[in-house]
């Protein structure tokens, strides 16, 4: 079976005042229907940029190249605008990393959710309202009917994040890209959200790409894991292999930085680990 999303040799560079900056350097990545792929790695390693390239949401200063970038057999690089609108936001949706900055501050939460339902499913009026309440209930927002009348600034960080999640799952996407979807949630609600995403994945065969820094979340949800560092893929492994026998030095260093592994008040960083490894030689 062909993967639902296939990317080969994806590179992204940005024009900056100091010259071109290469944020993503030749990444291969694929995900199957019903699969959960986790992407972990250094802050700034190009995780979000790579996924925004798939969505076609990078700014004009970005140059994107790829040998293959296809979704369900369709070439994402050569889509017409109308084809793109039919896929992005409908079949492929994304939970953006910074929820409070991703909602429109000028419209109520209800308006923004109902807009998605209208645009992609043609739902309006009472049925859209009912579905919106249903979605907010599913993501665990208290008093969902009242929350529809709230503006984003009237919600907490985690409540905004859950609104974003509700919007992303509203149309039962084929592929959901979740960029750190639970950072603003306490662990009990995080659990509820992850269970929700996994149940969508089981029931509808949804593919899920989960960007996260939380190794516990990786351990409890992912099938396969990609590790990124400085724009490159360092390692790809099944979730069990990654934790049991990490191959790449960066992966080992990353895992050793878990706060549980701290010695006293000091936490080890990747650099400490690399210095140690190099220290043996000098």
Partner 1 sequence: MNGRDDDTPGQRATTAADGIGPGVESQQGVEPAHAEPSQARPDQAGRRPVEGAPVRNGPGPGGDIVLEGRGITRDYHVSGGFFGGRKTVHAVRGVDFSVARGKTLAIVGESGCGKSTLARIITLIDPPTTGTLLIEGRPVQISGGRPPRDLRSRVQIVFQNPHGSLNPRQKIGNVLMEPLELNTDLPAAERRDRARGMLEKVGLLPEHFDRYPHMFSGGQRQRIAIARALMVNPAILVLDEPVSALDLSVQAQVLNLLADLQKEFGLTYVFISHDLSVVRHIADDVMVMLRGEVVERGSRDAVFADPQHAYTRTLFAATPVTNLDAIRARVERKASRRRAMQEQVASR
Ligand X SMILES: Nc1ncnc2c1ncn2[C@@H]1O[C@H](COP(=O)(O)OP(=O)(O)O)[C@@H](O)[C@H]1O
Ligand Y SMILES: Nc1ncnc2c1ncn2[C@@H]1O[C@H](COP(=O)(O)OP(=O)(O)OP(=O)(O)O)[C@@H](O)[C@H]1O
Q: Which residues make up the interface to Mg ion (CB under 5 A)?
A: 48, 97, 156-157, 214
Q: Which CB atom, from 47 or from 233, has the smaller least distance to ligand X?
A: 47
> From start to end of the chain, where are the E strands?
5-16, 19-31, 36-41, 62-65, 68-71, 74-75, 92-95, 175-179, 207-211, 224-229, 232-238
What is the signed CA dihedral for 175, 48, 211, 153, rounded to 10 degrees?
Answer: -90
Q: Is 240 in the site for ligand Y (CB under 6 A)?
A: no
Q: What SS3 class is residue 131?
A: helix
The C-alpha angle 24, 25, 26, rounded to 5 degrees, equals 115
> Which residue's Cβ has the minimum distance to Mg ion?
48
Task: Work out what residue 89 binds among Mg ion, ligand X, ligand Y, none; the CB cut-off runs from 5 to 8 Å by kind.
Answer: none
Which one of 36, 46, 89, 215 is in contact with ligand Y (CB under 6 A)?
46
Site string for ligand Y, 92-111 (x = CB under 6 A): -----x--------------
Rounded to whole angstroms, the Cα distance separating 95 from 196 reads 14
Task: Work out what residue 260 binds among Mg ion, partner 1, ligand X, none; the CB cut-off runs from 5 to 8 Å by kind.
Answer: partner 1
By CB under 6 A, the residues from 27 to 66 that bind ligand X are: 43-49, 61
Site string for ligand Y, 61-90 (x = CB under 6 A): x-----------------------------
Asked if residues 25 and 11 have their Cβ atoms less than 8 Å apart, the reply is yes
CB 114, min distance to ligand X, A: 31
What is the signed CA dihedral for 123, 128, 130, 134, rounded to 10 degrees?
Answer: 90
What angle do the packed helices 187-204 and 157-169 form, to 10 degrees? Answer: 0
Which DSSP letter does residue 50 get?
A: H
By CB under 6 A, the residues from 153 to 212 that bind ligand Y are: 153-159, 184
By CB under 6 A, the residues from 250 to 269 that bind ligand Y are: none
Rounded to whole angstroms, the Cα distance separating 109 from 90 reads 19
Asked if residues 106 and 154 have their Cβ atoms less than 8 Å apart, the reply is no
Task: Work out what residue 4 binds among Mg ion, partner 1, ligand Y, none; the CB cut-off runs from 5 to 8 Å by kind.
Answer: none
Stretch that binds ligand Y, among 15-23, 85-93, 232-240, 261-269 (CB under 6 A): 15-23
């Amino acid at each position: 079976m062909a993967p639902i999303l296939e990317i080969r040799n994806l590179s992204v560079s940005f024009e900056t005042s100091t010259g071109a900056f290469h944020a993503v350097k030749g990444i291969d990545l694929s995900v199957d229907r019903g699969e959960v792929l986790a992407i972990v790695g250094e802050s700034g390693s190009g995780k979000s940029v790579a996924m925004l390239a798939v969505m076609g949401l990078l700014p004009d200063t970005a140059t994107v190249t790829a040998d293959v970038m296809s979704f369900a057999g369709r070439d994402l690089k050569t889509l017409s605008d109308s084809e793109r609108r039919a896929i992005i936001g409908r079949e492929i949706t994304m939970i953006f990393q910074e929820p409070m900055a991703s909602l429109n501050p000028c419209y109520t939460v209800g308006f923004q959710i109902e807009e998605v339902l209208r645009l992609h499913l043609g739902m309006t009026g009472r049925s859209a309202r009912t579905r919106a309440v249903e979605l907010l209930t599913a993501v665990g927002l208290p008093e969902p009917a009242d929350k529809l009348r709230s503006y984003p600034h009237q919600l907490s960080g985690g409540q905004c994040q859950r609104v974003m999640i509700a919007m992303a799952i509203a149309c039962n996407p084929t592929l959901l890209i979740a960029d750190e979807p639970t950072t603003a949630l306490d662990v009990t609600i995080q659990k509820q959200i992850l269970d929700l995403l996994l149940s969508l994945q089981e029931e509808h065969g949804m593919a899920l790409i989960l960007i996260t820094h939380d190794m516990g979340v990786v351990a409890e949800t992912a099938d396969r894991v990609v590790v990124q560092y400085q724009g490159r893929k360092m390692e790809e492994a099944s979730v069990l292999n990654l934790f049991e026998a990490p191959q790449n030095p960066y992966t080992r260093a990353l895992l050793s930085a878990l706060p549980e592994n701290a010695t006293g008040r000091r936490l080890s960083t990747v650099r400490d680990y690399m210095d140690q490894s190099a220290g043996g030689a000098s």
